[in-house]
């Protein structure tokens, strides 16, 4: 019993000494200077959520292939699905951002089988919107 209390106390001290490491590290991430950098940080946070979910599943010895599924596995599958949706959504935003920041000479508006060069900034944004719509339509068909 005494040993148990002692380990509990040692753990409490360890937690206090460690502080909340995640928060400390997160505070030190430099502020993103562009949308693309912000998207990169968001992708990193998605990985962190997935890592933590995997750790919890493994630590609890969950075999998620078994039926019926445990609540923890169901949660794991939900996290997997949501993070995938988020990742794909961020990819779409990234693509639109890259197109919208494209060099005007490389920009083409491709719509209804016709390709025309972009003439100004509005054309570049239009090309970006068309591209994203095309990608969303392709992703929906899959």
Partner 1 sequence: MSGTSKLITKAIDTAILVLLGDKITAARQREIRRVIESVHSEEITAEEGYDRLRFEDGDALDKALKGLPAD
Cis preceding-peptide flag for 85 (omega within 30 of 0): no
Instruction: Find out whether 81 and 103 touch, Cβ atoms under 8 Å.
Output: no
Residue 62 is given by DSSP the state -
Question: Closer to partner 1 at the Cβ: 86 or 125?
Answer: 86
Which stretch, 91-99, 111-119, 122-130, 134-142, contacts partner 1 (CB under 8 A)?
A: 91-99
Question: Is there binding between residue 17 and partner 1 (CB under 8 A)?
Answer: no
- Give dist(CA 30, CA 34) in Å, integer: 12
Q: Bridge-partner residues for 116, per DSSP? A: 109
By CB under 8 A, the residues from 27 to 66 that bind partner 1 are: 28-30, 32-34, 36-37, 39-41, 43-48, 50-59, 62-65
Contact with partner 1 (CB under 8 A): which of 70, 92, 94, 130? 94
- The pair of structure tokens assigned to 86 is 């988020």
| Binding pattern for the stretch 114-133 against partner 1, x by CB under 8 A and - elsewhere | --------------------
């Amino acid at each position: 019993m005494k040993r148990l209390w002692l380990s509990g106390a040692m753990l409490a001290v360890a937690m206090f000494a460690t502080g909340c490491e995640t928060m400390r590290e997160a505070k030190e991430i430099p502020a993103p200077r562009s949308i693309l950098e912000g998207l990169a940080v968001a992708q990193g946070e998605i990985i962190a959520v997935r890592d933590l979910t995997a750790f919890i599943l493994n630590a609890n010895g969950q075999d998620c292939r078994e039926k019926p599924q445990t609540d923890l596995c169901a949660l794991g599958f939900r996290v997997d699905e949501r993070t995938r949706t988020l990742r794909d959504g961020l990819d779409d935003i990234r693509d639109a951002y890259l197109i919208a920041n494209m060099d005007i000479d490389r920009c083409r508006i491709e719509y209804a089988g016709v390709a025309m060069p972009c003439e100004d900034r509005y054309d570049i944004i239009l090309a970006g919107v068309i591209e994203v719509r095309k990608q969303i339509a392709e992703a929906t068909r899959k």
